[in-house]
Amino acid sequence: MRWDLSKNPGSDDPKTELEWLSSYAQNQYLVFPEGRETTFGTFSQSFRLSVGFIGQESLTYTTFQNGLKLTHHWTDRLTSKFILNGVVTSEREFFDVEGGYRLCDVDNDPGSSTFNDCVATVGIGSLYRYGRNVLQAQLYHAETRNELVLDKSKFEAGVSYSWQLIDDSLDEYTFADSSDYVINLESLDNEASLNVNRVEGYVQHRWTPNAQHLLVYGVRLNYFSLNNQLLISPRAQYAYRFP
């Protein structure tokens, strides 16, 4: 959505303009695994594999975001933009599934009373998976951009601030039971929280004295609170166009 906040709204070139963008999404998936039976081998020796499952997986993803941008033209040459946005997201992955298999010999004698039936078990086992995983995140961002246009120069400067808050909880395990042996294949129980800030800024000058010469130089700063790292990146570029 867009609003014209100028004193004379409706003009071709509004002086003050506000834009808003919002979205909400929620997706939920329920997964029910299915069993299957397969017969393979040769006529003289056939095998049958039967696989079955019970349980389900529940996956839920929710995201809500909002954004605002205010653009103001101080003069015909000076423009400022103020941007605010935020994202809140939540993810839940719950699963509780048990599966089992049976491998057996199949009777291929057409005259037998057990024709096409399992007569001997070759292998049997089961697999169990359990999980309760939750992720919650909040991401916020504020930024200002400024631009001054002169006859042969353009100055740009801006500052931004970001805040990220993330909580992640993992609780899951998996084990297999085969031939009366229980094997713990995977076990995970972990919680992590992240609360970080990021500050960025830049200044840039673009100078075009004529159609053949172009000079761009500036500096960019970046500070990240997770590792207390400050990066300063100067840059310069010169271009020449042959007449």
Buried b (16+ CB within 10 A) or exposed e, 197-206: eeebebebeb
Burial of 151 (0-12, 13-18, 19+ CB in 10 A): exposed
Burial of 154 (0-12, 13-18, 19+ CB in 10 A): middle
Q: How far is CA 243 from the centre of its chain?
A: 48
Burial of 29 (0-12, 13-18, 19+ CB in 10 A): exposed
Domain of 174, in residue numbers:
2-240
The residues that bridge with 178 in the sheet, in sequence order, are 125, 181
pLDDT tens, N- to C-terminus, the chain (243 residues): 888 888 776 566 668 999 999 999 999 999 998 888 888 888 778 888 899 999 999 999 999 999 999 999 999 899 999 999 999 999 999 999 999 888 888 888 788 888 888 888 888 888 889 999 999 999 999 999 999 999 899 999 999 999 999 999 999 988 888 766 667 677 888 999 999 999 999 999 999 999 899 999 999 999 999 999 999 999 999 999 887
Distance CA 30, CA 127 (A): 20
Distance CA 61, CA 91 (A): 5
Question: Residue 238 carries which side chain, given as an amino acid letter?
Answer: Y
Count of domains in the chain?
A: 1
Read off the pTM: 0.77
